[in-house]
Structure 1
Amino acid sequence: MKATLLSRSVKPATGKPVIGVFAPCDPRIDAASRERSTNIIKHTAESLAGKITLPDGTAAEVVYSDVLIDAESQADQVARQFKEAGVSVLVCVPDTWSFPQLTTISLLSHFPKDIPINFTTGNSATRPGVVYTHATSGAIAQYGKLTHINVGKWPDEGQNPQMSAPTLQALVDWCYAAVTFQGLKGKRVVVFGHDSMGMETALPHIMETRNQFGIEVTRLDMKLLADMLKKESYDKTELKKLRAWLEEHAGDRIELPEGEKDSELLDQSLALYLIVRDLMREIDAVGGGFMSQLEWGSDDRGIQLPVADIMESLFNSTFDHNGPKAVQPFATEADVQALLTQLFMTWLSGGHPPLFMDFRKAWDKEDITELAAQNGYQPNGDEPWLQKGFVDGVNSGSASFNWAAVPGTEEKEIMKKITFPKAVDYFYYLGNSVHFISPGNIKGLAARLAYSSLSGMFSMIWDEAETVALPVTLAQKICDGANPTWPHTFVVPKYASMTEYKQYAPANHFHMTWDLAPARLQFWMDFCNVLSVAPWQERPAFIEETDRPVPLLYLLNGGEDATKKLKAGKH
């Protein structure tokens, strides 16, 4: 027998997460009930198909087996089918009673212990799939594996029952989390430079990130970028196209007071985008970060180089000079915890653009009331920005262009709202910043990943949040008081008070992604064994139809945090 040389060509979809749908059954049950079970498998798979979008715009593949798992032989058969199809996410849809160890537990033995599995079932007493679900999830919890159950609703009778919309939505949210967990394994991000300004909250925890998330952090020196800029190692024709695109959209909103000198600096900052983009393509990176300060552009002992604001904004946007594109989460100041936060939330949202912000001034109710009075504004009492206050989210880089407008706005209309003033303060006027004020009524999650050496674990501090629009005069006063050349987004947390928000920030940066459901983040934290930190006194421990139900495994082991520490080996 000879060894086989594999082809060098690989199918484009290889390695992408695949969702496999199956069902157990009892061999003693009548033929009509078995046919109904098969129909539920197909209905579930077809309902999921096209619903889970990856950041590149493609849909996660969904496959199903119509082999009902009655016993070990069928479990082995379905497992082999799934492994051949590359299945890495399991969805079990039992409609009848069956025997846990002979069916799903036997199937699970073919897969890694951390493979996500969901049990979605109707609440039927006729052929009690819900009884099977509780029996099986309980058995699996005993040997320490995480499962999630979705006891939803579909008709007790009929050969082709359709699951209810809430049942499907709960399953879709779970699938997004499972696909994010599995899809990012083996991926890499690239970070240029070391941790900026000694910010230890920005450190690339290389081994911990590899062990917990399966993500590699490639580190490259900023000297490479400086050398490539000097050598003009980029496509000059494409640079002209990028510059023309920016001028077409922004025109005289690009500030170039020193004429040719400023024009050359703008070209260099745009060329930086092309250089970094191509380097990221070479190593197939899904995200990146750039140190900038101090060595790059604000230490006068060295050669000053142009700011990277436009570059970072372009990576975080859903378009550039070549048209629509996937978001590639990018972090200013080489803030790796920011990068990971944005990366996870972009995947969980199906590719929505992230917002990178300084946790700048937290304007509590008293502060903003005083500012309003000083500027002659008479509040009517129902302004959302006056109810509890807001955070002025502002930073020199990484602000996605998309956040200049409400979700769904066309590229042309977005770009009308953006200006490109000269960079000021720390950057010696070397290039252009990005400036806009985000509109109100954008809802999503604001969050920040953190790490602690005491536990050896990552945590996610998060809350639901919404942007608010202030009267123009007050908004400008606030911008002028921080930095009028940078983007500003005024963010109100849903449950955190301003006192809590000010005290519990884990770093000087925080991040927001729109239209991201809390349940998706919670499911993902379960898979990745990340501690969930939402200590707001106004937030209930469980919000029905918003939060995911607490997994049984946690209840059996002293609670969510206690179980996660047990899983991490931190007794």
Structure 2
Amino acid sequence: KAQGFKANVEYSQGCNAIAAGTQGQRAWTDFNPNFDIAESILNSSFDWNGYRAPHIVATENDSKNGIGMLAAMLITGLPQLFADIRTNWTPASVKKATGKDVSKLAPQGFIDKRNSGAGALDYAVNIASMVRGGRKMTPQELSAAIRNNAAAQKKLMESAMKATTYMAAALEYFPGDGLSSHYRTPGGVPMTAYRYNVIGDTLTFSVVEGETVELPVSVADHIGDVTDKTWPESYWVPRGMSSFEYMSKIGPNHDGNSYGLIGADLITFNSMLRIPIDMHNVPADDIFRPTYWDRCGGNDYLACSRLGPLYR
């Protein structure tokens, strides 16, 4: 009453939504500060109150990416990284631009995953290093280990914040100004990329496992200078395919990313929902699907279309 209005409590608490998106440029950021601080913190596993479950917020209201992030978060219990599939770099293009040879590091090239100013701060570090034996744990085991260890939570929060710098927004993208989270994901982090797409009335799913690489500083700095050095950056190599092949086949210029190799989990999850997989690089021996798929010759589209959607 003192403020002259009555608060809408349900609206202020997000209407109990399980995922959200931000409008972003240009409808919002031409006239207002960007949402990058809020988006990066909400997607992280902690805020000013301490360690907590991550929220799911998709950049630019990309609902298909938001759905994938929600599914992967529920499967792993870990924060998810929304990323722009910004640039495909090959050893030849790196050599031409910087004079450096990265052919041993990424012989088939790498993807510059650089979201426009916001990314979960957990990806500023390798979260597996937060607990003893973390590199040998499944994502689910790692999530539980951190969740039950106050010292690991403190280490994660302090390490992630130390590795992150909030930088003045790039005004050509954000005329309304603001701050963008910048960090560089360490190399050697197992990471699964995924994406939902809509083809006509059919929802499909892509999932590709890979690993981040740590580029020479001069190479990473050059890529930042010619792209946007205020944004979070993760350099990622897909397993068993070239970076160009991944960029060409994934669909739009956004993907979701999860710590760990969870491709098999996501394939089974989508099979349960009768959503066909349009691209993956998961070994056949790791994949579990109902035997009904065998009756359909292993054809995802045929099995899913005959069964029909689980939910309408």
TM-score of the alignment, normalized to the shorter chain, above 0.5:
yes
Q: SS where residue 534 of structure 1 aligns?
A: strand
Structure (1 or 2) with the larger CA radius of gyration: 1
Within a 5 Å distance, the mapping from 1:431-450 to structure 2 comes to: 431-450=178-197
Aligned sequence identity (%): 27
**Aligned counterpart, 2:303:** 563
1:490 corresponds to:
235
Aligned counterpart, 1:520: 265
- Give 1:345 shift: 0.8
1:353 paired to 2:79: yes
Inter-CA distance 329–516: structure 2 relative to 1 (3 Å threshold): farther
Task: Label 1:509 to 1:291 Cα distance change in 2 as closer, same or farther (>3 A).
Answer: same
Contact 1:464 1:495 in 2 (8 A): no
Which residue is equivalent to 1:543?
284
1:532 to 259, 273, 277: 277
SS at match of 2:173: helix
Cα distance, 1:307–1:534 mapped onto 2, change above 3 Å: same
1:417 corresponds, among 163, 166, 170, to 163
The 8 Å contact of residues 189 and 212 in structure 2, kept in 1 or not, is answered as yes
- Return the alpha-carbon distance in structure 1 between the equivalents of residues 68 and 82 of structure 2: 10
Q: Distance in 1 between matches of 2:21 and 2:14?
A: 16
Query: Residue type of the partner of 1:402?
Result: D
1-structure distance, mates of 2:119, 2:101 = 32
Give the distance between the partners of 2:34 and 2:308, measured in 1 at CA: 41
Counterpart pick for 2:47 among 276, 299, 320: 320
**Which residue is equivalent to 2:91?**
365
TM-superposition CA deviations, 1:9-58 (whole Å, max 9, x none): xxxxxxxxxxxxxxxxxxxxxxxxxxxxxxxxxxxxxxxxxxxxxxxxxx
Deviation string for 1:379-424 (max 9, x for gaps)? Answer: 6x53x23x11101011224400111111135211110111111101
Q: Deviations over 1:233-258 (max 9, x none)?
A: 99xxxxxxxxxxxxxxxxxxxxxxxx
CA distance in 1, matches of 2:204, 2:55: 23
Quote the RMSD (CA, aligned, Å). 2.5
Q: Is the 8 A contact 2:193 2:256 kept in 1?
A: yes
Q: Distance in 2 between matches of 1:436 and 1:324?
A: 20
Unaligned 5+ segments in structure 2 are 131-154
Q: Deviations over 1:324-349 (max 9, x none)?
A: 11111111111111111111111111
Is contact 1:368-1:389 (8 Å) kept? no
Q: Give the conservation status (yes or no) of the 8 Å contact 1:396–1:434.
A: no
d(CA) in 2 for partners of 1:280, 1:337: 24
Matches of 1:280 and 1:341 in 2, distance apart? 25
In the alignment, the residues of structure 1 paired with residue 180 and residue 6 of structure 2 have an alpha-carbon distance, to the nearest angstrom, of 23
One-letter amino acid matched to 1:436 = Y
User: 1:442–1:466: 8 Å Cα contact kept in structure 2?
Assistant: yes
Q: Which residue of 1 aligns with 2:29?
A: 297
Q: Tell me the TM-score normalized by structure 2.
A: 0.82
> Does the 8 Å CA contact 1:459/1:532 hold for their aligned counterparts?
yes
Q: Shift in Å at residue 372 of structure 1?
A: 3.7
Aligned to 1:451: 198
Deviations 1:262-287 (A, max 9, x none): xxxxxxxxxxxxx9x98463522121
1:516 CA drift (Å): 4.1
d(CA) in 2 for partners of 1:563, 1:325: 39
Report what 2:150 is aligned to.
none
Q: State whether residues 421 and 434 of structure 1, in contact with CA within 8 Å, keep that contact through their aligned partners in structure 2.
A: yes
Counterpart amino acid of 1:562? Answer: L
Provide closer, same or farther for how the CA distance between residues 521 and 427 of structure 1 changes in structure 2, counting only shifts above 3 A.
same
Tell me: CA distance 1:337–1:282, structure 2 relative to 1, closer, same or farther (3 Å): closer
Q: Does 1:395 align with 2:136?
A: no
Q: How does 1:93-492 map to 2 (within 5 A)?
A: 279=11, 281=13, 283-298=15-30, 304-349=31-76, 351-373=77-99, 377=100, 382=104, 384-385=105-106, 387-407=107-127, 408=130, 410-424=156-170, 425-428=172-175, 430-453=177-200, 456-492=201-237
Aligned counterparts of 2:32 and 2:70: Cα–Cα separation in 1: 27
**Stretches of structure 1 lacking an aligned partner (at least 5 in a row):** 1-229, 235-274, 299-303
User: How many Å apart are 1:568 and its aligned residue?
Assistant: 2.2
Quick one: structure 1 residues 463 and 394, their matched pair in 2 at CA, closer, same or farther if it must change by over 3 Å? same
- Displacement after TM superposition at 1:378 (Å): 5.3
1:554 counterpart residue number: 293
AA aligned opposite 1:552: T
Residue 365 of structure 1: how far off its partner (Å)? 2.7
CA distance in 1, matches of 2:272, 2:101: 49
Larger relative contact order (Cα-Cα within 8 Å, sequence gap ≥ 6): 2
Matched residue SS, 1:283: helix
Structure 1 residues 417-474: Cα deviation after superposition (integer angstroms, max 9, x where no partner) = 1111110122125211111111111102101111111xx2211111101111111111
Aligned partner of residue 218 in structure 2, secondary structure: helix
Range 437-446 or range 510-519, more displaced: 510-519
Contact map agreement 2:112 2:234 (CA 8 A) in 1: yes
CA contact (8 A) 1:330 1:398 kept: no
Cα pair distance change 1:499/1:280, threshold 3 Å:
same
2: CA distance, partners of 1:233 / 1:489: 44
Aligned to 2:255, the other structure's residue is in SS state: strand
For normalisation by structure 1, the TM-score amounts to: 0.46
